[in-house]
Chain A
Amino acid sequence: MDFKIIVLSYIIWLLAVRFLASRGLGPFSSFAKDFTGFLLGKGLGPANDLIEDRPGTGARTWYAHGILWFILAATLSFTSLWTAHEPYALHSLSSVGYSPSTEQATAAVHVAAAFGALSMLLIASGFASQAKLCGGRLASESNAALMAWAWSGVVFIGVIISHTDLIGGTNWFELPPVYYILFTLLGLPLFFNHLLTMSGSDSPVLVPQWFFVMGFAALIWTGPATMALMTGESEILSWMLVKVLFGGWLLSQALGVAHHVVPSALGVPLWSRSLASVALFGTFLTFSPLGAAAEVGAASDSLRAIVAILLTLSLLPIIATVANLATTAGGRMFESYGVKMTMLGVALLVPIGVGSLFASVSAFGGGAEQSHIAATLDALAIWGVCGAIALGGAHILFPSTTGRSLASVNKSRWTFFLLLFGVLGFGVGQLIADHVNAALGAEAVVAALEDAGVTPPDTAVAVQVFASIMFYAVAIAGVLSAQNMLSGAFRGTKIGDDTPTRAAAPRRHIVTGATTVRDLLSAGVGLDTEISMEGGSGSSGHISLADLSTPEADEEGEDDSGDSEEDSASGAVVEPSGGFSKMLKVELVSVAESAGLDSSGTKADIIARLNAA
């Protein structure tokens, strides 16, 4: 198929989705919304009644499936890496019928990782983000949850097919083309669920929401496109599919999650709207450098030049994202392990993106000089970039779907460090091994060594062992995350319990002698509390704070002069019965200011100053 038609169909489809999603269908909008809502709610018939349509159900189901696929996919990747240097390590499993070839194992890893683990975790975070941005729930939670089961089933079938002779020789899309249209069919209700949720909200559509919607549009495009492969093997179409899978689907969902969770978790606004827009449009209108293993044997010079330019331009959204999110997070990224994981993935985008750019440019009609590191770069893009953002998003957004926090901060810490050292150790080790193997495998080197009667050293094998062991940490990070999420869903602190709530103000408060507003506020007095003045004050009666008027200047002067000594003498702050920690921050600020203390910083800072006073 002609390259121009492929690219044009993709661009026109994305622009049409963007236009219709932002402008609506005019007079048909109302009908379309009602009809889509009916299909999502009742289209599956009795199946829809199997799952409760409660807020968070959809995202929670996707998370549960996604994290299990993460463990399975990481385990399959680990065994693939291991058998690369010890081919017969799993030979004993052949007795139960498991003896995949290298190609079959690779295809299984691709399906389980890209469509199972990362797609499901990122879809889950997308739904959780969408629900938070649109009033707390999806248009149809039960439909979203049902689709998770269906998606998981399709991935399972894909992993089984990967171990048969049905796999082909293309990169990443090794399974029969008809298989991938199933993801398009399953993506349609998810896509409409996003759109319907957005249409039901009055708030403006934000950049992360556009990432989710446009990402689904890209995924839906891949189904019919793979069907075109059935008309004949097309290298260019295969190459384009890999780029859309990585850039249009996985990276866009990951960037959508990152653009939401970093500002949301830290409570700061996104630094730059224009950089976010560049990231959004650049991601879809350029060719992602990720997916470096895809190759095109021959292409005209003009086509190579166009592709090289579009590949290079893809660095724009990557750099815009990294700069925007890094500035947004600033030093506060260390406050949350979820944000740290997300920022790890974002930061890795630059080195992996640049490396993949060189490999991709040379792989499109060139000599594919970097093909020996392409598979490693793809693995790093999968686990280092998308995997880290997927786990980071899960750590931040999963609690909002269950209403409970994660079980253990310690497990989150270990997950982060295992992911960090696992990805970096694997990347460094495997890239070294790739280069050594490529150097020793070169024809001239092999001939020279044979002539000299020298056996090549097995240094690369030792480094490959190191890389495999380091990658094992990624699998364990998945296990720890799953344990953290599972235990948290049952026994985590209920969200809201850990934040101080304003206790009901007492109806009446008795004051003996002189007092200050600060003491009254510290005692939990509200604006409508009736204050009973008894003895020592020179007057008695009932008064409420709301009734207090601004004292006259002369009275104020008298009070100041009379109380100045007492104030300076009684500078100590009286801690209320419930402790300072039970007070709201605004109350603490008020108390600190009335005590003449610095009221800046976090609650802990203010409490420390008040305690010291």
Chain B
Amino acid sequence: MTELPEMTEGRDEPTSARVILTISAIGALAFMMLYSVLYPGHPFPGLGSVLPLFSELGDSVVWFFLMGIGLGVGMLVATLLGETIAD
């Protein structure tokens, strides 16, 4: 009798998996936007509420987004420095 392994993990990545991931991300984003509807009276925590280091920035959510752009630009600078030094 052939014994099957306990479990196997395929190497292929079906395209539909990415679609599901994207839809999940959009859905999560949509629910976050409905935060004030789901939890009325509770403001969405800003960056300053999560990280005391940034408490002076205020409680606006926009700082999360700006931090993302900042990280992206930081990665650009790091890549540039790294590649220049490597060369």
Contact = CB atoms under 8 A, between A and B. Distances in A.
Interface stretch (A299-307, A335-343, A478-486): A478-486
Interface in A88-106: 88-92, 95
B33 A86 contact: no
Given A462-B33, A465-B33, A466-B33, A78 B65 contact: yes
Given A465-B33, A482-B76, A486-B80, A90 B60 contact: yes
B68 interface: yes
Nearest to A421: B26
Interface stretch (A117-125, A395-403, A469-477): A469-477
A79 interface: yes
Given A71-B73, A476-B72, A482-B76, A469 B29 contact: yes
Contacts of A95: 56
Nearest to B63: A89
Interface of A: 71, 75, 78-79, 82, 86, 88-92, 95, 417, 462, 465-466, 469, 472, 475-476, 479-480, 482-483, 486-487, 490-491
Interface in B62-80: 62, 65-66, 68-69, 72-73, 75-76, 79-80
Nearest to B37: A462
10 contacts: A71-B73, A75-B66, A79-B66, A88-B60, A90-B60, A92-B58, A469-B33, A469-B65, A482-B72, A483-B75
Contacts of B6: none
Nearest to B77: A486
A479 B60 contact: no
Contacts of B56: 92, 95
Nearest to A491: B83
A258 B51 CA distance: 46
B45 to A, nearest CB: 14
Contacts of B86: 490
Nearest to B86: A490
Interface of B: 22, 29, 33, 56-58, 60, 62, 65-66, 68-69, 72-73, 75-76, 79-80, 83, 86-87
B57 A479 contact: no
A479 B75 CA distance: 9
Contact of B76 (A86, A476, A486): A486
Contacts of A82: 62, 65
Interface of A is mostly: helix
A424 to B, nearest CB: 13
A95 to B, nearest CB: 8
B87 A490 contact: yes
Which 9 pairs between the two chains have the least Cβ-Cβ distance? A479-B72, A89-B60, A490-B83, A89-B62, A92-B57, A92-B58, A82-B62, A472-B65, A75-B69
A94 to B, nearest CB: 11
Given A472-B65, A479-B76, A490-B86, 11 more contacts: A71-B73, A79-B62, A89-B60, A92-B58, A466-B33, A482-B72, A483-B75, A483-B76, A483-B79, A486-B79, A487-B79
Contacts of A472: 65, 68
B32 to A, nearest CB: 9
Contacts of A476: 68-69, 72
Nearest to B71: A479
Contacts of A89: 58, 60, 62
Contacts of A475: 69
B73 A86 contact: no
A466 B33 CA distance: 7
Contacts of B80: 486
Contacts of B76: 479, 482-483, 486
Contacts of B29: 469
Contacts of A78: 65
Contact of A479 (B22, B33, B73, B83): B73
A482 B75 CA distance: 10
B27 to A, nearest CB: 14
Contacts of B73: 71, 479
Contacts of B58: 88-89, 91-92
Nearest to B82: A490
A409 to B, nearest CB: 13
A86 B60 contact: yes
A487 B83 CA distance: 8
